[in-house]
Structure 1
Amino acid sequence: MSSFLRYTYLFLSIALTGALIMTAGCLSEREVESADTNSTLELTSLTYYTEQLPPYNYQENGTVKGLSVDLLEAITEKMGNKVSQEEIHLVPWTEGYQAALTGNGTVLFSMARTPEREDLFKWAGPVYTNRKVLFARPDREISIKGPEDLKGYRIGVITDDVAIRYLLDIGVNQSQIVTESDVYAIIAALDSGEIDLWACPEASGNYFAEQATGNYNSYMVVYELQAQDTYYAFSKDVPDSVVQSFQQALDTLRDQKDEQGVSDYERIVYQDLGVSCAQQTFTDEAVIALVNITATAIEKNATDTFHRINAGEAPYRDPENPGLYAFVYDANVTMVAHADNILLVGTNLKGKTDVTGKPFRDEIVTGALENGTGWEEYVYTNPVHANLYYKTTYYRSVRGSDGNSYVVCSGNFKKCGI
């Protein structure tokens, strides 16, 4: 075993031991087991509410389904007491929101976590990220380039939806906002001309359009309001131990990979939502620059550079853009450094695939060893937002100061279009 890998395994052992000590504190094993048992038992006493918001959570043919429902079942099963879809109450958003506000052991999902809501609930997530957009009828030929173009337009929004806050924050007058508790009432108002625009998550809006008109593309996206992370929101009376256990189970679903190299979270997202696009906050040129900086550092001092990458230090993980980070393979497709996920370090990933079955890591290393540099596209999670995204990674082969060959990588996520 190389000295670098010995150092890495020692580092991981120390980190894991420290985490266990910090988590356990002064609790005895019996007390920890008791806390876990109490968290599991608490699940059965909670009331679960959701709304009709496909493809995330909705009822179809009498069955409650969707991404957040499937994740809830998987999370609670991992906690030892699976909540089935029969135990989930599908209600209008306002009803569920008020129930979660008043306590009584309530879980409402999925909810955007905003500063105004932060202290009103306890949170676990993120569950997924959606694009909150404005739809318009194509025959209206409405063009929105910026917030200033929204002046004078009437905008339909579901009562208590976070889109109201987004609209007010960008200068839309309260008098322009028309609220309804039923999405199909908003669609009817859009068709009749009573309103001009409709604020809704993009994927949900397309689903509702198809249900109402028979055409998935009846309405066009004319403006993006916000890309928002959504969470499971717990009423304030739910014990912290339950929320923490729930969060830990969700993190495990997301981070633990199977023999193919894919997590349960990735499989559920791919099945229910597919692959999303992202809001880019940095350029491909920044990706190339990071790879070049990292490669130069490895040529000068490989061991020190790997340690700094694994510690998530700048510039190897950009503090302003956490999605911009470096990672490094050896010639045998073993991860030797990763600025975002140290748990991958020391793992041989040869033959492992993304959720679509593409062995992208093998292709990256082969491409680098044969061609020196290049780009590879695949499906991956984003450290900044939930969901699966199309990612394009730039790679470069380099000879380290230790005489070994390495492949230095960094990537960007495919940009959303309007």
Structure 2
Amino acid sequence: MKVLGILLSLAAAPVAAADTVYFTTEDYPPYNFRAGNDIKGAGYDQLIVMMEELKIPYSVEMMPWARAIALAQTEPMHCVFTTAHIPERDTLFKWVEPLAVGRNLMVARKGSGLDVKNTDEAKSYTVGTQRNDYTQTLLENAGFEKIDLATDLKLTLKKLESGRLDLMPIDEQHYVQLVKDGEPLEVKFVFTEQKFSIACNSTFPDDLLARMQDALDTIIADGRQAEILGNYGLLGSNVSALASTPASNP
């Protein structure tokens, strides 16, 4: 599905057709997800506010994550969101950030009985994640060897709940939403912390990138980002038992 941006005002500076920005994303609530025929989410809503205020033509398309991030890496004028800004990706893209800041939790099936308190202890177990997701890189860099890769996070979640996996790294806010939806999960420890951002192709025009960053800075400063995040339960939402737990150092 493709949601087309609209030029809102004739007063806007003219923009060449080549300056159309193509955004890709995945189904990853609460940051971006399908709601009937629409796309919604804390990252998506911020993007729409930014681009419509800039009066720049754009499109948004939802697709599997591996394809979404590959297009942003290889195609001019393409950007992907909501993307974790980790060191391994830093020089691959140009960044507009932060859409959010979050922690990544290592979770297990509720009632699994696993006694795992940190990264070193977790390495002896089979850990699953989505192929080409930032958590794959985090796991590999941390020295995990038993990594099960699936095409999407939903399949990884099914494997975890069926006992085919032992552990799974997942963003804290996604975890909160899954538990609200009744998924039988429990947190073992805080794995990492990261920014969530818009990642654009390395050839993306610097002047346009700066305009996008200015637009995001504005909605952060005037409180609209906080309002959007709050609409999706992302303000003050945390795993209370882990509120003071430092991230494990992979």
TM-score of the superposition, structure 2-length normalised? 0.84
Where 2:111 maps in the other structure, the secondary structure is helix
Name the one with the larger strand percent.
2
1:349-379 Cα distance to aligned partner (Å, 9 max, x none) = xxxxxxxxxxxxxxxxxxxxxxxxxxxxxxx
1:244 to 210, 214, 221: 210
Change (3 A) 1:167 1:48: same
Hey, what's the Cα distance between the residues in 2 that align with 1:93 and 1:43?
A: 25
Cα deviation, residue 417, structure 1:
5.7
1:187 aligns with 2:157: yes
Paired position in structure 2 for 1:145: 117
Hey, what's the Cα distance between the residues in 2 that align with 1:249 and 1:230?
A: 16
Change (3 A) 1:43 1:277: farther
Hey, what's the Cα distance between the residues in 1 that align with 2:245 and 2:121?
A: 19
Q: Is the 8 A contact 2:173 2:234 kept in 1?
A: no
2:77 to 102, 105, 129: 105
1:91 aligns with 2:63: yes
Paired position in structure 1 for 2:243: 415
Cα deviation, residue 41, structure 1:
5.1
1:130 to 98, 102, 105: 102
1:271 aligns with 2:231: yes
Over the aligned positions, Cα root-mean-square deviation in angstroms equals: 2.6
Cα deviation, residue 154, structure 1:
0.3
Cα deviation, residue 224, structure 1:
1.3
1:178 aligns with 2:148: yes
Change (3 A) 1:152 1:124: same
Query: What is the number of residues matched between the two proteins?
Result: 233
Where do residues 311-330 of structure 1 align in structure 2 (5 Å cutoff)?
none
1:76 aligns with 2:54: no
Cα deviation, residue 163, structure 1:
1.3
Where do residues 11-410 of structure 1 align in structure 2 (5 Å cutoff)?
37=13, 45-81=20-56, 87-173=59-145, 176-208=146-178, 215-216=182-183, 218-256=184-222, 263-276=223-236
Higher relative contact order (CA 8 A, sep 6+): 2
Residue identity opposite 1:242 in structure 2:
L
Cα deviation, residue 183, structure 1:
2.0
State percent identity of aligned pairs.
23
Residue identity opposite 1:219 in structure 2:
L
Unaligned runs of 5+ in 2: 1-11
Cα deviation, residue 171, structure 1:
3.0
Hey, what's the Cα distance between the residues in 2 that align with 1:41 and 1:251?
A: 25
Cα deviation, residue 278, structure 1:
7.8
Change (3 A) 1:270 1:191: closer
Cα deviation, residue 199, structure 1:
1.5
Hey, what's the Cα distance between the residues in 2 that align with 1:42 and 1:232?
A: 21
Change (3 A) 1:209 1:93: farther
Hey, what's the Cα distance between the residues in 2 that align with 1:416 and 1:77?
A: 39
TM-score of the superposition, structure 1-length normalised? 0.52
Hey, what's the Cα distance between the residues in 2 that align with 1:127 and 1:221?
A: 24
Q: Is the 8 A contact 1:147 1:171 kept in 2?
A: no
Q: Is the 8 A contact 1:42 1:242 kept in 2?
A: no
Residue identity opposite 2:193 in structure 1:
A
1:115-154 Cα distance to aligned partner (Å, 9 max, x none) = 2211211111111012211111122111222222113200
Q: Is the 8 A contact 1:73 1:82 kept in 2?
A: no
Hey, what's the Cα distance between the residues in 1 that align with 2:13 and 2:19?
A: 12
Paired position in structure 1 for 2:9: none
1:10-31 Cα distance to aligned partner (Å, 9 max, x none) = xxxxxxxxxxxxxxxxxxxxxx
Residue identity opposite 2:210 in structure 1:
Q
Where 2:231 maps in the other structure, the secondary structure is helix
Q: Is the 8 A contact 1:43 1:81 kept in 2?
A: no
Cα deviation, residue 223, structure 1:
1.6
